[in-house]
Structure 1
């Protein structure tokens, strides 16, 4: 079986949160393969610790992926502040004899360094076109945990476990490995909090992650971390604003200062993403289709809303309003050129992570979340059939079927973009629906 087939059978998807099936991404040919180890979301600690704990496996998986896409160079993107990890990676690259192909490239400690288009520019100097993807400029990007999973796939191991950081206003900040399908509440309790009545939980990082309306779900391959904060924290209140509330506040207060545009990462890369103009179109009901279509260039990094706006308004929500409206009407933004250059002002408008963390009110929580044994042995798991981009996996088991840990329980539908799913425990299938497969331990 080829490595690409092993990756496909293992059910590997983008572990950084995007969830794109990796086997589909690695069918392209590229000049560069880039490892996204930036982990730019505040408080999350998975990638940096995986690179410290499994450097050989990540380097081997990354190199193998690079060979698959016929890359000329494999560049590991990691923030310069992680000096010890950088030194370790450089040492292991030489020991493994792949120094002619794999290199470590240091990134500034900015947000959003982990945005794949920002990463491509920082590491190669190439700018991904508007509405485009990295392969259009000869680049393929994989996450560090994805590279680890590629190595495991080469050893015959499917994706059945996920690394999660639990952080925030909690007694115990920790990073753990848990079975896919584990109840989320079991993971949250590792924080030292039992009763979450007075707390809200952000699914993912504090910038892009949504506030969870229900913590009774189950871990998927896309989960990266959970940030637990008191319900009265600024960030929770800001993220809990409804679209209607945001629209009223925007219309009453926006003074068109254009700070949201001046600090927009995509605008600084030369794209025509101008949130202040989208605010103008929304606030004054201007019949400007081109101005509305511009919203499709938004990467939803949330910098405009949580950092840039001096009045604390909601430019990202204005972007989302038009983005959703354009999707419903099947209207697409069409770039008027194919080549882009970063704006000359970019180097002077990058947002330092420490400054961002202070603005978010998270400075007191910006502490280590060390890797630890979770000690979670779930008696029941639910494996989502859709935890990736594309079509849901097609169940191949029925209630009453006995399965082993690592056994495939859902396959890729014929001709579809999808990813296989596997049981993370040994037990008996107790329920199969269109959305999940439930398994009870023995």
Structure 2
């Protein structure tokens, strides 16, 4: 069994939040393989700590993936502020005698350094084409935790656990490893808060994460963190605005200053993403479909909405509105050129993370969230069949079956994009639905 088969069997998906099946990425041939250790979302602390705690495993998994795709160079992207982690990685690369292949490259402490296309540019100087993916410029990108999972796959250990940061306005910020399928509320209570009536929870980072409508969900392979804030916090109020409210505010107040465009990370890379034009099209009910197509270049980083706009409007909403409208009509943006050059203004418009954290009102919560050994022994886990990009996994177990930790319980549908799923605890299968398989702990 080669590495590709091992990764497929282990059910590895992008651990940074996207959930794209990793075995599909490894089917490509690339000149570079890049490790995304930027973790640019404020308050999240998973990747930086994993690189400190498991440097050998991450480096070995990364090296194996790089050799498999035929890369000539493996570049680890990590923010320059993480001096200790950088030193550890460099020391271990030298000790493993991989210096000719694996290299650490420091990233500026900006948002969104972890955006896949920004990362490619910062590490290689190459620009991914509009509506494109890194392989188009000879790059494959994997997340730090994904590289760790690739190492475990190489020793026949599937993905059954997930590292998650719990942060925000809480007594005990921490990062924990929990079984996939653990009730989210059990993870949230590790924060030291028992009653969440006065709190809202953001699933993911403060920028790209969304407010959870309820706390009844279960941990998936894609979860990265939960940010807990009081319901009256600025960020919660901003993210809780309805689509109709956002539309009304945009129409009444947008002055077309174009700051949303001038600071857009994709625009600064030479793409035609221009949020101010989407605001104009929405506010004045413009019907030019060709002009609306650039909305599909939006990476949803939310910089325009949560930092750039001086009036506190909702440019990302305008992008999302047209993206969804065009998707319904099956209309796709087609790039007019294949070569792109970063705009000259880019170096002056990079957003320092500390300025972003201050603007979001998170200064008081920007604290360490140390990896903490905590046993979360939930009685029942609900393992989603849809925790990845592609078709849901097909159950290969039945109600009443006894399963062991690590046993495959769902397979990839024949001929489909997808990922396998595995039992995250030993126990009995008590329920199987379209969306999940429930296991009661022994």
TM-score by length of 2: 1.00
Could you say which residue in structure 2 is the equivalent of 1:176?
A: 176
**Aligned partners of 2:42 and 2:215: how far apart in 1?**
21
2:211 partner SS: coil
Instruction: Tell me the equivalent position of 1:85.
Output: 85
Deviations 1:146-192 (A, max 9, x none): 00000000011000000000000000000000000000000000000
- Residue 125 of structure 1 corresponds to 125
- Corresponding residue of 1:219: 219
Give the structure 1 partner of residue 347 of structure 2. Answer: 347
Asked if 1:246 corresponds to 2:257, the answer is no
Distance 1:18 1:286 in 2: 32
Give the Cα separation in 2 of the matches to 1:247 and 1:346. Answer: 29
- Deviation, 1:379, is 1.2
Structure-2 residue corresponding to 1:327: 327
- How many residues align structurally? 442
Aligned equivalent of 2:435? 435
Partner of 2:294: 294
What is the alpha-carbon distance in structure 2 between the residues aligned to residue 258 and residue 97 of structure 1?
50
Aligned to 2:210, the other structure's residue is in SS state coil
Cα separation, 1, equivalents of 2:306 and 2:374 = 32
Distance 1:55 1:363 in 2: 29
The 5 A counterparts of 1:1-16 are: 1-16=1-16
In the TM superposition, 1:221-300 aligns within 5 A as: 221-300=221-300
Cα deviation, residue 288, structure 1: 1.4
Deviation of 1:264 (Å) = 0.2
| 1:6-49 deviations in Å (ceiling 9; x for gaps) | 10000000000000000001000001000000000000000000
Q: Summarize the alignment of residues 191-230 of structure 1 with structure 2, pairs less than 5 Å apart.
A: 191-230=191-230
Give me the whole-angstrom Cα distance separating, in 2, the residues matched to 1:362 and 1:305.
16
- Separation in structure 2 between the aligned mates of residue 285 and residue 6 of structure 1, nearest angstrom: 51
State the shift of 1:396 in Å: 0.3
- CA distance in 1 between partners of 2:15 and 2:125 (Å): 25
Offset at residue 289 of structure 1 (A): 1.1
| Structure 1 SS opposite 2:186 | helix
Deviations 1:42-91, CA, capped at 9 Å, x for gaps:
00000000000000000000000000100010000000000000001000
SS of residue matched to 2:337: coil
Q: CA deviation at 1:114?
A: 0.2
**Residue 378 of structure 1: how far off its partner (Å):** 1.5
Partner of 1:366: 366
Q: Give the C-alpha shift of residue 354 in structure 1.
A: 0.1
Kindly state the Cα deviation for residue 286 of structure 1 after the two structures are TM-superposed. 1.3
d(CA) in 2 for partners of 1:291, 1:246: 21
Task: Give 5+ residue unaligned stretches, structure 2.
Answer: none
Cα offset, 1:97, TM superposition: 0.8
Which residue of 2 is the match for residue 152 of structure 1?
152
Consecutive unaligned residues of structure 1, counting only runs of 5 or more, are: none
Q: 1:105 is matched with which residue?
A: 105
Cα distance in 1 for residues equivalent to 2:326 and 2:236: 28
Q: TM-score, normalised by structure 1?
A: 1.00
Query: Which residue in 1 is equivalent to 2:309?
Result: 309
Report the alpha carbon displacement of residue 139 of structure 1 after superposing the two structures with TM. 0.3
2:141 counterpart residue number: 141
- C-alpha distance in 2, partners of 1:181/1:353? 32
Deviation readout 1:198-246 (Å, 9 max, x if unpaired): 0000000000000000111100000000000000000000000111100
Corresponding residue number in structure 1 for 2:378 = 378
Deviating above 2 A after TM superposition, structure 1's stretches of 4 or more consecutive aligned residues are none
